[in-house]
Structure formats: C-alpha cells, structure tokens
Amino acid sequence: MFGTHDLVLFILSGLLLNVTPGQDVFYIVSRGASLGWGRGALAALGVGAGCFVHVFSAALGLSAILATSATAFTMVKYVGAAYLVWVGFQMWRGNGEKHPEGEYFRVSRRKVFTQGFLTNALNPKVALFFLAFLPQFVSHDAPSKPLAFLFLGIVFTVNGTFVNLAYAWSAARVSSMVGTGGRYTQWIKRAAGTLFIALGIRLAMADAN
C-alpha cells in the first residue's frame, strides 16, 4: 500500500517500540498521575502532534540534514536538552496550591499540550529514528517514496498515540486509587522534574550515532 511492504510487521514493530518507556511516556505518565486523565490525554495528543513534525520531515528529506550535518544536529540537540531541563525545573517549582474546585496544581490545557509537543518535536533522536526505521518498509520501486514515508509515519504516530492514551489513563487511574493529596502530587511532580532534568542532560551528551 502506497509503495510499502510488510505492513503487519511494521505495525507490530512499531507497537513494541511505542510501549517502551521514553521521555514522552514519562511526561505523559507524570501529567496523568498528577493532573488527571484529561490533562494526561492532552499530553499524549501533544506528543503525537510533535511526532508529526518528524514524520513530515522524514517525508521531505529534512531528517537527512540532521543525519549528515553535525552542526544542525548539535543545534537541535541543545535546544531540546535545554527545553527538557526547563520543563524539569518548572515541575519542581510548582507549589501545589489548592485550586478553587478542589484539585491541586491546575495547569492549563494549552500548556500541557504544548509541552508534550515540544518534548517530542525538539528531540533530534526521534528524527533520526524515523530516518532509520521507516525506509526498511518502503519498497525500492515505490512510485512516491515521500508518500510512502508519510503513510508509514501516520500509521506509527496514530498507533503510538493510542498507546500513550492508555499510559495516561493508567497513570490517572492508579493516582485516583492511591489518592491525590498535595504531598503526593508534589512527590509525583518532583520525581518527574528530576527525571526530565536527567533526560535533558543525557540528550545534551548524546551524539548522532
């Protein structure tokens, strides 16, 4: 379909990769646990939207620039690393004050979605992953390779979004069973903040290989 092959294998491989926790999953789980299912779902949708940046980049060949240009990779890497560290510090700074409706640390829907989007879109490793993974399922005689890249990227992203929504729901469910007191919420936020700072430092030290 659209110049691709082994679509079932692609979907299964993609799902296995999607369920493997990474910085996107950690962000979604932290938002779902501390802010509830609604915000967790928005975080998952934001991550999915960020993934489309890499899908279109792969289809247009822009990801190849990151793979061949050390300067471009380094620039995007440091911007992404700085953003992760900034998100981590923001999670640490939250004071957990009581919301008038009785929930703790209400964060705007736009902020949750945007953070999820940027967490994924500013990660050059994701761009390189698409550039390495998708071509394995594109036929050498595909009539339109960009269309084949786009099709596979959309399938991967949609499936990944469903997985991330499941992570968000599970985190919110567990949180509701444990309780959502201010101290618990603060613990979740600070644990996630520490993890994001560590992920930012790790990304800053990563190379293109």
Q: pLDDT at residue 72 above 80?
A: no
Of 16, 33, 1, nearest in space to 188 by CA = 33
Residue 129's Cβ-count burial label (10 Å; 0-12, 13-18, 19+) is middle
Which pLDDT value is given to residue 44?
94
CA distances (Å), origin 151, targets 126, 141, 148: 17, 16, 5
Question: What residues contact residue 193 under an 8 Å CB cut-off, 6+ apart?
Answer: 87, 88, 89, 90, 91, 92
Phi, psi of 163, rounded to the nearest 5 degrees: -60, -45
Tokens read off for 193: 């903040």
Share of the chain above pLDDT 90, in %: 15
Q: 3-state secondary structure string, the chain?
A: CCCECCHHHHHHHHHHHHCCCCHHHHHHHHHHHHHCHHHHHHHHHHHHHHHHHHHHHHHHCHHHHHHHCHHHHHHHHHHHHHHHHHHHHHHHHCCCCECCCCCECCCCHHHHHHHHHHHHHCCHHHHHHHHHHHHHHECCCCCCHHHHHHHHHHHHHHHHHHHHHHHHHHHHHHHHHHCCCHHHHHHHHHHHHHHHHHHHHHHHHCCCC
Q: pLDDT at residue 34 above 90?
A: no
The pLDDT confidence band at residue 129, using thresholds 50, 70 and 90, is confident
Q: pLDDT at residue 125 above 90?
A: no
The one-letter code for the residue type at 202 is R
Tokens read off for 199: 């992920």
Is the pTM value of this prediction over 0.75?
no
pLDDT tens-digit map of 9-26 = 888 888 887 887 777 888
pLDDT tens-digit map of 41-63 = 999 999 999 999 888 887 777 65
> Do 164 and 47 meet the contact criterion of CB atoms below 8 Å apart?
yes
Domain parsing of the chain, residue ranges: 23-94+102-205
Tokens read off for 47: 């991550």
